[in-house]
Amino acid sequence: MKILFAGEGGQGIQTAAQVLAKAAFKEGKNVLYIPNFGVEQRGGASIAFLVIDERPVVYPKFEKADILVILSERIKARVERYQGSETILISEKDNLSALKKILGTTKIVKKENVKKALKEKLGVKFKEREF
């Protein structure tokens, strides 16, 4: 499964990709994650390439995503080349909604493992009832 998260710095793009990667790793899947962002911490483009597979993953970048998550309209033009005819487009306002939609659409990882990874990453900031 090739997933591309795209948005602006400060939206939690890298955090969402890391959480999904960690959940998949906990399930024994092969995972590669590549962050891609500028020097700006807020407002600049933030992209994360994530590949989750049962087989070994050789290279984490890809031409077309299986899932393209876009959290900012401003970034859409920059990543549209990764959208193919089979790509599932998820356009949400926040990462929790996007992660829920990924889980509902693909079943790539178990929800409980995503919750554990969110709790590990966010600590007390994670409100389990919201997921």
What is the pTM for the complete model shown? 0.91
Report the amino acid identity of residue 113.
N
CA–CA distance, 56 with 59 (Å, rounded to integer): 9
Q: What are the extents of the domains in the chain?
A: 2-130
Tally Cβ neighbours within 10 Å of residue 128. 8
What confidence tens digit (pLDDT) does each residue in 78-111 have? 999 999 999 999 999 899 999 999 999 999 999 9
Output the CA angle 75-86-29, nearest 5 degrees.
85
Closest CA to 7 of 93, 101, 75: 75
- Helices of type H across the chain: 13-26, 73-79, 95-106, 111-122
Quick: pLDDT tens for 8-41: 988 999 999 999 999 999 999 999 999 998 766 6
Fold of 2-130: Pyruvate-ferredoxin Oxidoreductase; domain 3 (3.40.920)
Stretch 107-127: mean pLDDT:
92
